[in-house]
Structure 1
């Protein structure tokens, strides 16, 4: 697995790189935000990194800004690894599109587990589709992508493509993850705590407003007002549209 480590402290980077290398990672080290973006997006084309470990205290660019720029340009998973332990920083990082947030000092075994967990989540759809070569109805498309068809709504989990009546709808990473989660079981109510845990990989506390904002954004972008139903006091469910 190829991993981009963004860390300005050479001693910390060397120690962590040695551990990661022993566990089979191909580590590329960037000392600042601009260098990280150059390595991640050479010539404007995303380089094949499976995960980015991003420190926030960088010498040239704030790590939050780097995360936001990465997320606007690529879906490469980002794990923030930082000494900033306050809830506001955690929520801000996750809202910007980070896939996980690890506070220093950390246990190396936990960090490795989180890297593998993020990799599994982001690569699961593609791996499953490639393994069985089938679509939703058991027939393989040209790229083997699994496709969910719910009335006018089409969700391709491998390519992370969403369309309504054939028109592609651009979603953020978290918006797609939220929609894909609800679409797994149309009609089933997902508790707010469950959604936050599955999509943001954090606890409910302090993140409720973020979920509400993403639900509102999905409703507006998809222009299917009855698609996501609020179950008051419990959570949300997807109502399969017709037509």
Structure 2
């Protein structure tokens, strides 16, 4: 089933679209502002087939969300706007949106646009690998679990798993603190924010990576962190 994340501050519109799309065999998750959008996006980014962004939101705007999504994912984006201004549509498309629909619109029109994007992008054939193996450990992205070489589960919190998956997806890349904080929390770290340090220390502890020469997550002084283990990904 294709999974769609919709953010719109109008409850009636959210409910209408969810009901209509679920009747057409889509799985739909809703958000009402930027903060709740990032919570849901971070939780389900690996399984999303489409994101629908309302331009006007109480705590941010769809353009900012579009930029944030594009920094992490190539998932298709449809933007909704009550404005008839052509400049808004151009800005959205330049920021990485795949389509634009003006309000008011019918659910039937939106469904047609969704189907067209899925046909064009071939989402059904682009399922990401389920398993990732590194250093004797295996991560299952469907079950959201990790086991060691003899099958013993590695206890991870939701945020631990999220950070680990992001590292795996960007293995070998130097990732700075702001990128990692946005990936796990939906916002940058403040100058005195030690949240990321605690998370990384906890991950290192779980994978016996706490020595002076860590094998898994290495610190790059003045630049950030790098996931140093080799990763083999597969569907089975």
TM (normalized to structure 1)? 0.49
2:101 match: 102
2:69 match: 70
1:119 and 1:92 mapped to 2: Cα distance? 22
1:37 and 1:128 mapped to 2: Cα distance? 23
Alignment of 1:144-183 (within 5 A): none
1:120 match: 119
1:33 match: 34
- 1:12-51 Cα distance to aligned partner (Å, 9 max, x none): 1111111111111111001111221221123xx8331111
2:76 and 2:10 mapped to 1: Cα distance? 22
Does the 8 A contact of 1:37 with 1:70 survive in 2?
no
1:36 and 1:62 mapped to 2: Cα distance? 11
Give the aligned CA root-mean-square deviation in angstroms: 2.4
Q: Which runs of 5+ in 2 are unaligned?
A: 128-236
| Higher RCO (C-alpha under 8 Å, 6+ residues apart) | 2
Runs of at least 4 residues of structure 1 off by over 4 A?
A: none
Shift of 1:123: 2.0
Shift of 1:120: 1.6
Question: CA separation of 1:26/1:86 partners in 2, compared to 1, >3 Å: closer, same or farther?
Answer: same
Q: How many pairs are equivalent?
A: 128
2:4 and 2:97 mapped to 1: Cα distance? 15
TM (normalized to structure 2)? 0.50
2:106 and 2:15 mapped to 1: Cα distance? 16
Does the 8 A contact of 1:3 with 1:25 survive in 2?
yes
Q: Which runs of 5+ in 1 are unaligned?
A: 130-243
Shift of 1:128: 8.9
SS of structure 1 residue aligned to 2:96: coil
